[in-house]
Structure 1
């Protein structure tokens, strides 16, 4: 029986992430245990280097299924010269990731980002490969796992998008063929909007939607869903808060 330990939005909070894995009894040496990360591994927190080292280790052990969140895109685009990174460094916490991974102070990044990018690539030669092979979704049985859900495009089709407006996704998504598991939007905000309850530190569970962004920077928590898969049948057996 395979066990999948699903988490999201670590945002550079290594301690909370590891504590969650310990509570969930994840064992990287168990051949049937796997991590499924729903994205936003980086930014805002101060332990992005530790998070990355752990992800790289799990990837080398073939223990990691990773989805690329919008914050992971920020880092990928910087490294691939698709963005200078300055906007996201100033407004969205990418500055923490740049400092942690380059080992250089952030103030000089805004003058010339090339040295920081060069240093990150030198320090982590496997980083671009890790980011580039991250997927936009995984399916485990009747569970659809994404970073932020789906967005309706101009032609009226729903497509996976890692910057979806999750509130609109929950309100308007017309299909119920899968139970949707996602991060991106703080579960506490979704609980307030849809359940009219102030439920800080609780995952969002409503109809066929499950939101597991614990807002780790404020709560110092990572939610972990444990999904067991046996003979093609999947079920959630535990939720670690």
Structure 2
């Protein structure tokens, strides 16, 4: 296996996904770890899922569950809508799924069912969508939804005094459990950044593709970054989640 990539939140931006994979010159030897939020935003949410299903037949892929993926999954199962979800990209996904054949929807349901909440590799690197609150690690989280909704892990990493060493009693125990942690969920554009950001040992790879930002891929060993164009420029007639 050549390279391992952590891939940020896509939010229905299939054009951006294809573009960034091409720019990274992905081969079947590369492992792709998707950090969640494949849907809700741009108009291609359903097409993103179909594309990922096909991609996984050629590449080693790990699909981590995001909060928006969970919301869409619930809607596909129950067709019960939540107003806040509709206002934050859900309507675009409903529109994308409106005329799909049932066979395709069943394939997508299987895809959602098979997503994982987190992944820990052989080098003690943790990959998940959002964060966790349990001091013993994500596997001990009382409610799994924290793994794709929590923002306190990222907030803690951002606030940490850089002079505090990892073996100091003041260093957050959650962070010390892993050599590195890779997340999405909270766009770094909120802190006026355009590239993946490291805070303590946490790498945030969500560069705001749902809004005015780009879609990013981070090679986890070299930290080389590949990015799409700003996604809104690839969908000039849409609003996304803006």
**1:127 maps to what in 2?**
108
What are structure 2's unaligned runs of at least 5 residues? 161-171, 228-242
1:238 to 208, 224, 230: 224
Residue in structure 2 matched with residue 110 of structure 1 by the alignment: none
Residue 120 (structure 1) shift: 6.2
Write 1 or 2 for the structure with the bigger share of strand. Answer: 1
How many residue pairs match? The answer is 204
Listed as ranges, the matches of 1:1-241 within 5 Å are 1-27=1-27, 30=28, 32-61=29-58, 63-81=60-78, 84-103=80-99, 121-140=102-121, 141-152=123-134, 159=141, 161-166=147-152, 167-170=154-157, 171=159, 173-174=172-173, 175-176=175-176, 177-189=178-190, 192=191, 198-199=192-193, 201-227=194-220, 235-241=221-227
| Preserved contact between residue 183 and residue 211 of structure 1 (Cα < 8 Å) | yes
Q: Is the 8 A contact 1:150 1:158 kept in 2?
A: no
**Would the aligned equivalents of 2:120 and 2:127 in 1 still touch at CA under 8 Å?**
yes
Distance 2:223 2:42 in 1: 29
- Tell me how large the CA RMSD over aligned residues is: 2.4
State the Cα distance separating 1:145 from its structure 2 match: 0.6
Which has the higher mean CA deviation after the structures are superposed, 12-21 or 165-174? 165-174
What's the TM-score, normalizing by structure 2? 0.75
Q: Which runs of 5+ in 1 are unaligned?
A: 104-118, 193-197, 228-234
Report how far residue 132 of structure 1 moved: 0.7
1:43 touches 1:94 (CA, 8 Å); kept in 2?
Answer: yes
Q: TM-score, normalised by structure 1?
A: 0.75
Say if 2:130 and 2:147, in contact at 8 Å, map to a contact too. yes
Quote the offset at 1:58 in angstroms: 1.8
CA distance in 1, matches of 2:213, 2:199: 24
Q: Deviations over 1:127-176 (max 9, x none)?
A: 111101111111232321110011248xxx97362100244443584232
Deviates more, 1:218-227 or 1:94-103: 218-227
1:62-116 Cα shifts (integer Å, max 9, x gaps): 53210000000001111222x612324422211101111223xxxxxxxxxxxxx
> Quick one: structure 1 residues 62 and 125, their matched pair in 2 at CA, closer, same or farther if it must change by over 3 Å?
farther
Q: Distance in 2 between matches of 1:120 and 1:40?
A: 23
CA contact (8 A) 2:37 2:69 kept: yes
2:34–2:62 Cα contact (<8 Å) kept:
yes
